[in-house]
Amino acid sequence: MFSHKDQTGRTLNLPTIPKRIVSLVPSQTELLFDLGLKEEVVGITKFCVHPDEWFRTKSRVGGTKKLDIEKIRSLNPDLILANKEENVQEQVQELESIAPVWVSDVDSFDAALQMIEMIGEIVGKSAESNTITQQIQNNFANLYLQNKNIPCAYLIWKDPFMTVGGDTFISDMMKRCGLKNIFEDRKRYPEISLQELSAPGLTILLSSEPYSFKEKHAEELKLFLPNSNILLVDGEMFSWYGSRMLKAAEYFRGLNQ
């Protein structure tokens, strides 16, 4: 019997290394692929777009917040991977009647590295997960930033506008690419007004997810905020807390120039 704790402090007991895994978190699905678990992963969500070959071929079990419980049951998993923020607690509790559910809770760069190593351990890929976290750490340690503490707001939603507070993974990643989150005193994902974005010289990042901001939205905002630097950014680089972090430092280097 193998005993493991998840990031919420819950203990899972598994008789063997899992052979049938359902992942309910897109960034963790990509991590499982990069750990080499091609056959072991039997179910993913409709938002698990990486890797493309899994998105096209693996069984989909609904969205992260609207799961098809019976579809998951039919896949006969021996491990389900979930996330405290992305999945609904009541559904996670229901899934515990099907298989052990390992829940991540990632609100910082360090918590993301811990998650990668903990998942590596539970799926029998500790060496591979340690290699990934070491490479991520090396990439960020060698990240040279020309500019630091740039006042910035990161928008994730429109109508109403929503941003990220200081207790989020995204906010921590902003710091690591030289950006100072002007809403770091807020919690989670607060609604904000255009007036709160009116400070001259503010950099405003429009994320590609969960709201898919486009150039037209940047142009519309520029009419109201002519003194701001408004950029479209790849939301996966700021919010995916798995092996996608391997690519984030290089992306941030280009963004900081």
Q: Same structural domain for residues 25 and 100? A: yes
Residues 161 and 77 in one domain: no
Q: Which H, E and C letters describe the chain, residue by residue?
A: CEEEECCCCCEEEECCCCCCEEECCHHHHHHHHHCCCCCCEEEECCCCCCCHHHHHHCEECECCCCECHHHHHHCCCCEEEEECCCCCHHHHHHHCCCCCEEEECCCCHHHHHHHHHHHHHHCCCHHHHHHHHHHHHHHHHCCCCCCCCEEEEEEEECCCCEECCCCCHHHHHHHHCCEEECCCCCCCCCECCHHHHCCCCCEEEEECCCCCCCHHHHHHHHHHCCCCEEEEECHHHHHCCCCCHHHHHHHHHHHHC
Same domain, 83 and 162: no
Domain count, the chain: 2
What pLDDT, on a 0 to 100 scale, did the predictor assign at position 16?
93
Residue 25 placed within a domain = yes
Assess if residue 231 is contained within a domain: yes
Rounded-to-integer distance, Cα 251 and Cα 233, Å:
10
Give the pLDDT confidence of 101-157 residue by residue, as tens digits.
999 999 999 999 999 999 999 999 999 999 999 999 999 999 988 878 999 999 999
Predicted TM-score of the model (pTM)? 0.94
Q: In what order do the strands lie in the sheet with 101-104?
A: 59-60, 41-44, 21-23, 79-83, 101-104
User: Are 87 and 64 in contact, with CB atoms under 8 Å apart?
Assistant: yes
Same domain, 26 and 84: yes
CA distance 99 to 44: 15
Pick the more confident residue, 146 or 192: 192
CATH number at residue 46: 3.40.50.1980
The answer to whether residue 32 sits within a structural domain is yes
CA-CA distance, 22 to 76, in Å (whole number)?
9
Among 90, 107, 124, the domain-final residue is: 107
Asked whether the predicted pLDDT for residue 257 surpasses 80, the reply is no
Q: Could you say which of 107, 140, 168 is where a domain stops?
A: 107
Q: What is the pLDDT of residue 112?
A: 98
Average pLDDT over residues 160-171: 98
Domain with 161, as residue range(s), is 150-256
- Looking at every residue in the chain, the average pLDDT score rounds to 95
pLDDT at 181: 98
Residue 196 CA, chain-centre distance (Å), reads 26
**Would you give the distance in Å from CA 78 to the centre of its chain?**
24
